[in-house]
């Protein structure tokens, strides 16, 4: 039996774009960090790669950089697929910030539809027109939410799948336990469901699958890769830090998010005594609520205790793959021993 057979999934219920991946994993979009180099490396490594459309920012009067990035990603992945028909790249996703202050949204939707982007990730607002734009070119939408009420609204507005952003996620995190959030959504939703928040190992990815998610959604560990657009000090701080070094604050963007404490201290603030801010201070007109928030105050999730060095993406995905198989094999052996001893599978109880 080849190694992969031990965890071959049945993914027939998923849309075609999400089937047959090497690992049930999506590299999440990260402001400033995710660009074509990271996305291409993630897709070639066999997981979905993604970037926020707002990261592609041209100087005034220049042609849209988003268009150039989509061309680069599409052509590079096509070349890879022709050269490696037995090991094709995973599809990529583009993240749209659906917030009223994002003045570029309409233009970016049009460009993504023209380039037939296969997976559209929407954040900060569920809108029918955005889902229609994705569907018009054969794409699917995954909408990120932090609770069951928002999850229901997103599906009512036509999203195809959900990203449950739980406690401990990097960037704008939710307050809820992943166990509570996924179980509440799975009680009524059988479509594509992704779990975001502090997944940084194959073991955690397997746990996401066990609780009911189809995929893990992972950001922070990819910051500490050579392909990420992050300063060396940011990458090293992720290697050196753990969950205790993450602070939750609304001060920087108006919405609760998780950040590296040492970066807050380096900016001259006391990470243990931060003021709060309200959502009306969110502004994406220049791409971020406050550029300083992401350039100097570094977003990060709680899972980084599993990140021990800066590597390339392929090395990180290989580690996750090894850990995922080993964790699955360990549990499968425990269950096999139980079944051999006469325990029921539970299916007919
Ligand atoms: C630095 C940083 C920037 C982020 N920027 C975005 C973004 O622009 N759009 C978005 O939808 N999510 C963004 N996120 C959230 C991620 O998509 C995802 O929910 C999160 O990284 C998952 O948690 P993890 O970092 O613990 O893996 C960001 C996260 C980080 C760490």
pLDDT at 289: 45
Q: Identify any residues that bridge with 142 across adjacent strands, giving them in sequence order.
A: 121, 161
The answer to whether residue 215 sits within a structural domain is yes
Predicted model pTM: 0.94
The answer to whether residue 10 sits within a structural domain is no
Q: What CATH number corresponds to the domain at position 106?
A: 3.20.20.70
The answer to whether residue 250 sits within a structural domain is no
The average pLDDT across 130-154 equals 97
Q: Which residue has the higher pLDDT, 2 or 335?
A: 335
Task: Give the pLDDT band (50/70/90) at residue 93.
Answer: very high
The average pLDDT across 154-181 equals 97
The rounded distance, in Å, linking the Cα atoms of 172 and 284 is 14
What percent of the chain has pLDDT above 90? 80
In a mutational test of the pocket of ligand 1, which residue from 170, 216, 241 has the highest number of ligand atoms less than 8 Å from its CB?
A: 170
Residue identifier of the C-alpha nearest atom 16 of ligand 1? 28
Tally Cβ neighbours within 10 Å of residue 31.
23
pLDDT at 288: 47
Q: Which residue has the higher pLDDT, 280 or 325?
A: 325
Task: Give the pLDDT band (50/70/90) at residue 347.
Answer: low
Atom number of ligand 1 nearest to Cα 123: 11
Contact (CB, 8 A) for 287 and 34: no
pLDDT at 8: 64
The answer to whether residue 273 sits within a structural domain is no
The rounded distance, in Å, linking the Cα atoms of 276 and 281 is 11
The rounded distance, in Å, linking the Cα atoms of 113 and 258 is 32
Q: What is the mean pLDDT of the chain?
A: 92
Q: Mean pLDDT: which of 94-103, 129-138, 335-344 is highest?
A: 129-138
How would you classify the pairing of strands 171-172 and 257-260? antiparallel
Instruction: Tell me: pLDDT of 105 over 90.
Output: yes
Q: Token digits for 148?
A: 């069951």
Torsion 332-334-335-338 (CA) sign: positive
The answer to whether residue 104 sits within a structural domain is yes
The answer to whether residue 124 sits within a structural domain is yes
Cα 123 to ligand 1 centre (Å): 10
The answer to whether residue 96 sits within a structural domain is yes
In a mutational test of the pocket of ligand 1, which residue from 144, 201, 205, 219 has the highest number of ligand atoms less than 8 Å from its CB?
A: 219
The average pLDDT across 320-324 equals 98
Cα 293 to ligand 1 centre (Å): 13
Instruction: Tell me: pLDDT of 140 over 80.
Output: yes
The rounded distance, in Å, linking the Cα atoms of 29 and 36 is 11
Q: What is the dihedral of CA 331, 334, 339, 343, to 10 degrees?
A: -100
Cα 217 to ligand 1 centre (Å): 9
Chain segment 3-17, per-residue pLDDT in tens: 444 456 788 889 999
Ligand 1 within 6 A of 31 CB?
Answer: yes
Which structural domain range is residue 176 located in? Answer: 15-226+313-323
Chain segment 31-55, per-residue pLDDT in tens: 999 999 999 999 999 999 999 999 9
The rounded distance, in Å, linking the Cα atoms of 327 and 122 is 32
The rounded distance, in Å, linking the Cα atoms of 163 and 147 is 10
Give me the number of domains the chain comprises.
Answer: 1
Q: Which residue has the higher pLDDT, 288 or 105?
A: 105
Q: Which residue has the higher pLDDT, 291 or 203?
A: 203
pLDDT at 1: 36
Cα 171 to ligand 1 centre (Å): 5
The answer to whether residue 126 sits within a structural domain is yes
Chain segment 213-251, per-residue pLDDT in tens: 999 999 999 999 999 999 999 999 999 999 999 999 998
Task: Give the pLDDT band (50/70/90) at residue 339.
Answer: confident
Contact (CB, 8 A) for 98 and 122: yes
Contact (CB, 8 A) for 43 and 91: yes
196's enclosing H/E stretch is: strand 193-196
In a mutational test of the pocket of ligand 1, which residue from 30, 101, 216, 224 has the highest number of ligand atoms less than 8 Å from its CB?
A: 30
Chain segment 253-297, per-residue pLDDT in tens: 888 899 999 999 999 999 998 888 877 666 665 544 444 778 889
73-79 own/partner pairs: CB under 8 Å, 24+ apart: 73/36, 73/39, 73/40, 73/43, 74/115, 76/36, 76/40, 77/40, 77/43, 77/44
**Coil vs helix vs strand at 344:** coil
């Amino acid at each position: 039996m080849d190694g992969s057979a031990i965890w071959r999934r049945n993914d027939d219920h998923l849309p075609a774009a999400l089937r047959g991946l090497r690992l049930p994993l999506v590299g999440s979009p990260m402001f400033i960090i995710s660009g074509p180099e990271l996305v291409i490396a993630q897709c070639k490594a066999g997981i979905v790669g993604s970037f926020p459309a707002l990261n592609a920012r041209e100087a005034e009067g220049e042609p849209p950089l988003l268009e150039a990035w989509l061309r680069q990603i599409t052509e590079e992945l096509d070349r890879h697929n022709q050269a490696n028909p037995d090991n094709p790249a995973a599809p990529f996703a583009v993240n749209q910030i659906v917030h009223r202050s994002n003045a570029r949204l309409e233009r970016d939707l049009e460009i993504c539809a023209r380039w037939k982007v296969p997976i559209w990730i929407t954040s900060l607002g569920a809108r029918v027109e955005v889902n229609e734009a994705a569907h018009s070119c054969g794409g699917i939408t995954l909408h990120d939410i932090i609770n069951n009420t928002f999850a229901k609204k997103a599906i009512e507005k036509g999203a195809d799948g959900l990203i449950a952003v739980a406690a401990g996620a990097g960037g704008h995190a939710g307050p809820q336990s992943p166990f509570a959030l996924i179980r509440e959504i799975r009680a009524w939703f059988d479509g594509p469901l992704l779990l975001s928040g502090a997944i940084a190992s194959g073991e955690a990815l397997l746990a996401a699958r066990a609780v009911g998610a189809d995929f893990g959604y992972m950001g922070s560990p990819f910051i500490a890769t050579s392909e990420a657009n992050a300063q060396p000090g940011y990458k090293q701080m992720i290697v050196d830090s753990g969950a205790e070094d993450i602070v939750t604050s609304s001060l920087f963007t108006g919405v609760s998010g998780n950040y590296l404490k040492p970066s807050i201290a380096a900016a001259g603030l006391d990470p243990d005594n931060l003021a709060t801010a309200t959502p009306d201070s969110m502004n994406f007109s220049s791409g971020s609520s406050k550029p300083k928030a992401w350039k100097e105050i570094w977003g990060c999730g709680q899972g980084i205790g599993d990140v021990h060095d800066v590597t390339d993406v392929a090395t990180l995905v290989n580690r996750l793959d090894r850990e995922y198989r080993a964790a699955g094999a360990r549990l499968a052996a425990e269950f096999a021993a139980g079944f051999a001893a006469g325990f029921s599978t539970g299916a007919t109880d």
